[in-house]
A and B are shown apart, each in its own frame.
Chain A
Amino acid sequence: MNLRRHLLEAATLFLLAILCALVANALASRERKLALVGSYPDALKVPGAEATAPAPLASAGGATPSSKLPFEEKHPGPAAGSAPKATEPPRGSEARNFSFSPGDLLKRFPPHNKPYVEISGDDAAWLVAHGALVLDARRTKDYVAGHIAGARSFPVWESDIDARVTALVGEGRDGAIPVVLYCSGGDCEDSHMLAQKLYGAGFNDLLVYRDGWPDWVRRGGKSATGPES
C-alpha cells in the first residue's frame, strides 16, 4: 500500500515537472525557447562523396537554390575527398577590399557534394574578402558580443533555427555559391551541425571555418558587435 502511494507521489512530481517545463518553454524568450522535438543531425558524420545532396526544403517563395543552377553541369566538384585549397590567401585585415564575385568564389571553391568541407582561417579570410555569405552558428548572445563583420546569426541551438534556414532558402540564393560557417573553434560542432541542416535544404558548397571565432580574433579579422541588423 505504501509503495503504491509513493509511486503515485513520484508520478505526480513527474507530471508536474512536465507541466512546468511546457509552460516555462511557452513563456520563454526566443533565445531560451526550445522546439519540443529536436532535430540534431550527427554533426561530424559526413556521408561519402558518392552521396548526393538531399532534396531541398520547400521554400517560402517557391524558389530553391538548386533550381537556379544545376551544380554538376556548370560547376563540377573536386575529386572525392579533396578539400579546396586557397593559394596566396589574403589576411583577414584586408577584408572588404574586394567586391562580391561569384565566379572567383566558385573557381576556388567549387561545389563539393558533401555536407561540408573544413577550411582554414586563411581560406575563410579569402572568402570573406570576396563577399561570401558567412553564417555564425553560435548562440545569439555570443554573436552579439562579437562576430565576423557581415556574418549572419544562425544559432543552431535556438528554437527558430529551422525557420531561419527556411527563410534563407526562400531568399532564392544560388545553392552552389560557397557559404562559410563558423562557431567557437576547438571541439565546437555547431557549424558542422548547421552545415548538415543547410545541405539538407539544398546548399551544396558549405565550408566550415574549423578554427572559428577565436582564430578570427587572433588573426585580427574585421569584426562587429551587436545584434543582426
Chain B
Amino acid sequence: MTPKEALASPWLTVRVQIALGLLFVAAALPKLVDPPSFAHMIYNYRLVPGALVNLMALVMPWLELLAGLALILGIWTRASAGIVGALLLVFLAAISLNLARGNAIDCGCFDVASANRTVDERLSDMRLDVLRDLGMALMVAQILRTKGRGPAPSPA
C-alpha cells in the first residue's frame, strides 16, 4: 500500500472522523455550560458587532456539538465535515487577525474561563492555537477527500 492509498483508506478515515468529532464535542461542552463567558470571549476578539455576539455565543456551540456528534456517529459525514471545516476557517481567521494586530486574548476554544496570563503567554498560546486548528483542518481535508470519492470502479 502506497502512502497515498494509506492516507485515503477507510480505516484511517473512520478514526479521523471519530477523533475530530470528539474534539468538537469536547470544545462545545464548556461553551454550552456557560454561554455568557463564551460571549465575553467572542467580544474580546473585536471582530463581531455587539448585536451579534450573543447569537454567535448561543448557536456556535450547538453547531460544534451537532457536527461533532454526526462525525462520531457517521451520519451526514460530508455535511458535518464541511461545517467543521468552515468553523475552523473562521477560527483561524479570527485568531490570526488578532495575532497580527497584537491583541492578546484567550482563545475560548476548549475553555471559556479567563486565565490570568501575561500578554506574551497569551500570544504564544494563540500561535499554538493556529497550528492546532491547521492540524484539524487537515483532518477535515482527509475526510472530505475520502468521502468525496464515488464507489471504486469495478474491475473490467
Seen from chain A, the residues whose Cβ lies within 8 Å of a Cβ on chain B are 6-7, 9-10, 12-14, 16-18, 20-22, 24-25, 28, 31-41, 139, 155, 157-159, 184, 186, 188
Contacts and interface: CB of A to CB of B under 8 A. Distances in A.
Given A32-B34, A139-B37, A37 B55 contact: yes
A24 B62 CA distance: 10
Interface of B: 32-37, 39-40, 43, 50-55, 57-59, 61-63, 65-67, 70, 76, 78-80, 82-83, 114, 116
Contacts of A13: 63, 66-67, 70, 76, 79-80, 83
6 cross-chain pairs, A with B, having the tightest CB-CB distances, nearest first: A9-B79, A40-B50, A38-B54, A17-B62, A21-B58, A17-B63
Contacts of A31: 36
B54 A37 contact: yes
A24 B59 CA distance: 10
A24 B32 contact: yes
A203 B39 CA distance: 26
Contacts, number: 93
B58 A186 contact: no
Given A10-B79, A21-B59, A139 B66 contact: no
A28 B79 contact: no
A157 B40 CA distance: 7
B88 to A, nearest CB: 15
A34 B82 contact: no
Given A25-B35, A34-B35, A18 B59 contact: yes
A41 B43 CA distance: 10
Residues of A contacting B: mostly? loop
B51 A37 contact: yes
A39 B76 contact: no
Residue in A6, A14, A24, A38 with the greatest tally of chain B CB atoms within 10 Å? A38
Given A6-B79, A40-B43, A158 B54 contact: no
Given A13-B67, A38-B39, A21 B62 contact: yes
B62 A20 contact: yes
A33 B116 CA distance: 25
A40 B65 CA distance: 27
Contacts of A159: 36
Given A37-B55, A38-B54, A41-B50, A17 B40 contact: no
A10 B82 contact: yes
B55 A36 contact: yes
A229 B60 CA distance: 36
B41 to A, nearest CB: 10
A9 B62 contact: no
Contact of A32 (B35, B55, B63, B70): B35
Given A39-B50, A39-B51, A40-B43, A34 B57 contact: yes
A22 B58 contact: yes
A41 B66 CA distance: 32
A10 B34 CA distance: 26
A137 to B, nearest CB: 11
A16 B66 contact: yes
Nearest to A11: B79
Nearest to B61: A21
Contacts of A28: 35
B34 A9 contact: no
Nearest to A193: B43
Contacts of B43: 38, 40
Contacts of A33: 35
B78 to A, nearest CB: 5
Given A32-B33, A34-B36, A157-B36, 18 more contacts: A9-B78, A13-B83, A14-B83, A17-B66, A21-B58, A21-B59, A21-B61, A21-B62, A24-B32, A31-B36, A32-B36, A36-B55, A37-B55, A38-B54, A38-B55, A40-B43, A155-B36, A188-B114
